[in-house]
């Protein structure tokens, strides 16, 4: 299993929190520059393999009333290699469509993420407490009409360090829970993790553990890595997600890590699977750089094997600024990619965006339907979904606060509607679109 695949397995989220009130001087990503190069297999070419390089340039736009909450990304792309022209092309805009709710208990941010006119939607929900600590984080999307995704729940120690993270996994063929208990030494530095799995969150079995060896050094007083941003979960197509790198067990505010061992519990004994070596430098200007060398124990004997290498950095405010990743397991062509995040303050931004309106769209499945239909919408908020019969009478209405709405074929009074043709209407401000559906 490669270092890249293992990142999916051994992630441990730490958080960057949004303020509970709009702050025009908040730091936010202004743009993201990404590139990768490697080899792709082209069957028609002699030898099959062809070298390519690929680039993405993305500009972020934010809500004017919440200058730290991203609204959409303008994406440009170019690719060099066989069958590509090497020119910049504008890609479909990526809409986040955020909804922010502030209360004395904290803040909730709901993102409904779509690209261009594609009705497919993924939902991200962040819930913070009154102390600006992330309590729950959810990523959900539809797969063949079934809602799938992950949900994380965070608990904290009195001094703000993470105590544990419980992950709820809900995929088409996989479901269950994973619990990560953090361990700290007498100096409050992170010394390891114990990872458990469960099918029902009631009975837990040992799965993996991480043993961390600290360097004995700490970050400057008051410095904190801020490792949570919605852009990290939405990288350019084909790129490893930034959040996976940020969630390595050795990326922690609790001490500067020297190395670690990841073990798997197999047949009643702990077996070494990975050894990671960290070089972490806290620079005089406040920036911090990481260089991680990851050795997968099972691959060490392969003649052409090279360890996975990951390099990334943070600015003086603790925000993620850059990463590069390379891998060569000796079995497939080498691969490299890098992503750079450029930051700005809300008050420095040229664009205090009231962003372009998200185009309206409706899809409905199944259509025709018998007793239940799922209506998927894309719109800016606030928007309403109404259903009319062919006589123009409104039989049902809902607020489009979620991208997916189930209608059970009943009217607003709960009575079953007759079979026949109905019209779905989606309306936002002075814009509206309609789609016909058939109940049989």
Residue 235 pLDDT: 77
Residue 355 pLDDT: 45
361-439, CATH topology level: Immunoglobulin-like (2.60.40)
Closest CA to 245 of 57, 2, 8: 8
Residue 15 pLDDT: 29
What is the CA angle 111-116-119, rounded to 5? 70
Q: Which two tokens stand for residue 300?
A: 């060490």
How far apart (Å, rounded) are the C-alpha atoms in residues 178 and 253? 22
Residue 291 pLDDT: 87
Per-domain boundaries in the chain: 3-348, 361-439
Whether residue 214 contacts residue 191, with contact meaning beta carbons closer than 8 Å, is answered with yes
Residue 384 pLDDT: 84
How far apart (Å, rounded) are the C-alpha atoms in residues 163 and 193? 10
Residue 48 pLDDT: 80
Beta-carbon-side half-sphere exposure of residue 157 (alpha carbons within 13 Å): 11
Whether residue 387 contacts residue 415, with contact meaning beta carbons closer than 8 Å, is answered with no
Which stretches of the chain drop beneath a pLDDT of 70? 1-25, 118-120, 145, 238-246, 303-306, 326-335, 346-360, 378-382, 400-404
Residue 331 pLDDT: 59
Q: Which two tokens stand for residue 419?
A: 């079979």
Strand bridging mode 49-62 / 306-314: unpaired
The single residue listed with the structure tokens 């998200």 is 358
Q: Work out the burial of residue 3: count CB atoms within 10 Å of its CB; fewer than 13 is exposed, 13-18 middle, 19 or more buried.
A: buried
Residue 160 pLDDT: 86
Closest CA to 108 of 12, 169, 18, 225: 18
The single residue listed with the structure tokens 């955020």 is 98
**Which stretch of DSSP H or E encloses residue 41?**
strand 27-41
């Amino acid at each position: 299993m490669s270092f890249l695949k293992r990142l999916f397995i051994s992630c441990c989220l730490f958080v960057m929190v949004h303020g509970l009130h709009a702050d025009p001087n908040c730091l936010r990503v202004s743009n993201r520059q990404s590139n990768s190069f490697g080899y792709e297999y082209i069957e028609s070419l002699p030898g099959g393999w062809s070298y390519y390089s690929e680039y993405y340039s993305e500009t972020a736009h934010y809500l004017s009333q919440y200058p730290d909450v991203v609204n959409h990304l303008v994406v440009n792309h170019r690719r060099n290699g066989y069958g590509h022209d090497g020119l910049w092309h504008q890609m479909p805009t990526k809409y986040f469509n955020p909804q922010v709710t502030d209360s004395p208990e904290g803040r909730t941010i709901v993102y409904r993420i779509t690209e261009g006119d594609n009705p497919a939607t993924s939902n991200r929900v962040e819930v913070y407490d009154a102390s600006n600590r992330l309590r729950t984080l959810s990523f959900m999307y539809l797969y063949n009409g079934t809602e799938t995704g992950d949900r994380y729940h965070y608990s904290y120690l009195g001094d703000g360090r993470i105590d544990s993270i419980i992950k709820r996994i809900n995929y088409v063929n996989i479901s269950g829970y994973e619990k990560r208990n953090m361990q700290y030494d007498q100096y409050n530095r992170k010394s390891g993790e114990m990872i458990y799995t469960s099918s029902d969150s009631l009975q837990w079995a040992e799965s993996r553990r991480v043993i961390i060896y600290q360097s004995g050094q700490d970050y400057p007083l008051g410095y904190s890595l801020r490792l949570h941003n919605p852009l990290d979960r939405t990288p350019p197509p084909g790129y490893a997600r930034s959040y996976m790198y940020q969630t390595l067990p050795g990326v922690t505010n609790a001490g500067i890590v020297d190395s670690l061992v990841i073990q798997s519990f197999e047949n009643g004994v702990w077996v070494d699977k990975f050894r990671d070596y960290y070089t972490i430098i806290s620079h005089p200007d406040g920036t911090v750089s990481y260089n991680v060398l990851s050795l997968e124990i099972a691959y060490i004997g392969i003649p052409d094997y090279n360890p996975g290498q990951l390099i990334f950095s943070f600015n003086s405010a603790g925000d993620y600024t850059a990463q590069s990743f390379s891998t060569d397991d000796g079995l497939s062509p080498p691969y490299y990619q890098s992503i750079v995040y450029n930051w700005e303050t809300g008050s420095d931004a040229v664009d205090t965006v009231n962003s372009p309106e998200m185009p309206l769209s409706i899809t409905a499945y199944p259509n025709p339907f018998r007793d239940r239909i799922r209506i998927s919408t894309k719109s800016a908020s606030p928007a309403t979904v109404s259903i009319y019969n062919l006589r123009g009478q409104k039989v049902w209405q809902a607020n489009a606060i979620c991208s997916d709405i189930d209608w059970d074929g009943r009217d607003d009074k709960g009575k079953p509607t007759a079979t026949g043709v109905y019209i779905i209407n989606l309306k936002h401000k002075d814009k509206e679109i309609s789609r016909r559906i058939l109940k049989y």
